[in-house]
Chains A and B, each alone.
Chain A
């Protein structure tokens, strides 16, 4: 995991632009915290180590509402999602979401951005795989 993150930082420092779905980089500026979140590559999003790391955190932090594989919650099961934009997933985890009576808190101030991306990788790994 640490090695992967080091690679990611190196990529950023070199100005290499990649995107998870188009192999082009993108910077998401977090206006609240002033931090910059770097969208990983598609390869990183599908990296088994990232997925496993993300699963571990997801089960401990998110299963209480979403179930450990995203079948619960108030919205469509994760497995029934297709073409789910990783940036959208990241945004919801980082900034939270309020819709009607449903409330999800923002986690960006207490979960490292890299780990949020690992969680995105786990969630993304479930999508498009209905039971």
Chain B
């Protein structure tokens, strides 16, 4: 019995809708990967599809039976350093994911039995990078599995065997303070596109495209604009930038959207007067040649570490192709994604004091308050952001966007930083005092919240004792799944936030929860495994972070 034949009638109803969409997408993309992604039982891209929704059209698991969810199987990556950050992919009954140290696995999606694995051979220098071991998963398409590595390579593996097909070095970590690839490069036609870490380091960040079938370098986009008005003198050479999260390919408009990192030094913007293009910006690139079609800089001359790498929620509304984008500084910008014109800006963070506002028509910052040399100032949100990097989810059925959020601040005294005094991979912050703090009004808080993404109207929220640091899942079963930092995964009613089910996975959630179908059954797949620097840095506010155990386990749930 094929996977599709095995679907329930309820799934089939969803499947018809998704099938039509799939035919359109396949025609638009002209590639196998999006034919796969259109199948409702698959989760074929990082955000499930190019729209950044993290929505599964499956509804076999729903509000009436979610209490019956049981563990079906588990898989251990075997390397728990910095935990498990991946969003797994599910394509035609096979799961693909990667964990710490660029360990890549293909599993039978119904049983968790390993089909193949690939362990990247990494240059030991990667262990000297503060962002080493971070890894957010793989990309699959055109018969290949693609990864970006901790030592600066993009690699293609045979989808069926895991055999290495090509390997291209794009960055040399020793030359860029340990900059590396922590996210999977994304497919856009014949190109594979991705950027690297580095907004917190004295380096010059770039975005690369390689040819999918050969690994040959096709083009490089410099996130530091070659313009003395943007970057006086040599400031651009150590201006940070880069792009550390996956971009998204809008095939209909033939645009690749990717958000860039902050400018460096993070807090000392006086050392780099100018707008510091193209840091802290949304870029719309032409995949074939890297042409910059449009851009929107959310934070010119950033001095708070408010970069722009988070997901793009792509929505059609009244005939207009829109993009919804959260910046770390706490504002959500709605843009026309064909032109980059700002349509609306709304504040998601409840505590924002680095600006008095953002112009709702242009996105221009209003009343900005920058760090001052030698003076201790408190800014909200903190470098943790109004949310961590883990994406929210959107339900087209409810018209709601579900996202984690953090309300915290940091105290900063800006200071000059002599570049030659930097140790390898030492953050290039430009501070003499730096501490994450509670809110001026009281204790730092966190929540899972549901918003109308176009207006910012709050539908419901659930307060969390510890910030949620995982990716959210929404399903056609009227469910929202979110993993917390203690390791509990929760299922909520997508309409009102009522909790319907939970399970303790034993380690905090940092990856992205997905849903897929295999053997006629719908599964909820939870990456469990705490890690990264954020929980440690913020343990002064949430001491329980010190006690959360690490791990790296995929846990599949289903109903009998």
A residues sitting closer than 8 Å to B (CB atoms) are 56, 59-61, 63-69, 71-76, 96, 98, 100-103, 105-107, 109-111
- Chain B interface residues toward A at CB < 8 A: 80-83, 127-130, 132-133, 200, 417, 423-427, 429, 431-436, 529-531, 533, 535-540, 545-546, 549-552
User: Are A60 and B537 closer than 8 Å at their CB atoms?
Assistant: no
Q: Which of B80, B129, B539 contacts A101 (CB 8 A)?
A: B80
What is the CB-to-nearest-CB distance from A92 to chain B, in angstroms, rounded to a whole number?
Answer: 14
Question: In the complex, what residues of B have CB within 8 A of residue A67's CB?
Answer: 435-436, 537, 540
List chain A residues, Cβ under 8 A from B132.
Answer: 103, 105
B550 touches A63 (CB 8 A): no
Kindly list the 10 A-B residue pairs having the minimum CB-CB distance in the complex, ordered from nearest.
A101-B550, A110-B424, A110-B423, A101-B531, A100-B550, A71-B540, A72-B540, A61-B426, A111-B423, A101-B80
Determine the distance from Cα of A61 to Cα of B201 in the docked complex, in whole angstroms. 11
Q: Give min CB distance, A130 to chain B, whole Å.
A: 13
> Max chain A CB contacts within 10 Å: which of B132, B417, B535, B538?
B535
**Complex alpha-carbon distance, A102 and B549, angstroms:** 10
**Contact A103 B434, CB 8 Å, known A71-B540, A72-B537:** no
| A60-B417, A64-B130 known; A73-B551 Cβ under 8 A | no
**A102 contacts across to B, CB distance below 8 A:** 531, 536, 550
Hey, which chain A residues are within 8 Å of B552, CB to CB?
A: 101
Is A74 a contact partner of B536 (Cβ separation < 8 A)?
yes
Asked whether A61 and B431 contact (CB < 8 A) given A72-B436, A105-B128, the answer is no
Say how far A53's CB is from chain B's closest CB, in angstroms.
Answer: 12
- In the bound complex, residues from chain B placing their C-beta under 8 Å from that of A75 are 546
Answer whether A74 and B423 are a contact pair too, CB < 8 Å, given A60-B417, A67-B540.
no
Contact of B81 among A71, A76, A101 (CB under 8 A): A101
In this complex, the member of A105, A106, A107 whose beta carbon has the largest number of chain B beta carbons within 10 angstroms is A105
Most buried by B among A56, A100, A103, A105: A103
Bound CA–CA A111/B83 (angstroms): 28
Return chain B residues, CB-CB under 8 Å to A105: 127-130, 132, 425
Question: Once the chains bind, are A73 and B127 in contact (CB under 8 Å)?
Answer: no
Residues on the A chain within 8 Å of B425, using CB: 105, 110
Complex interface: chain A residues within 8 A of B200 (CB): 64
The minimal Cβ–Cβ distance linking B189 to chain A, given in whole angstroms, is 37
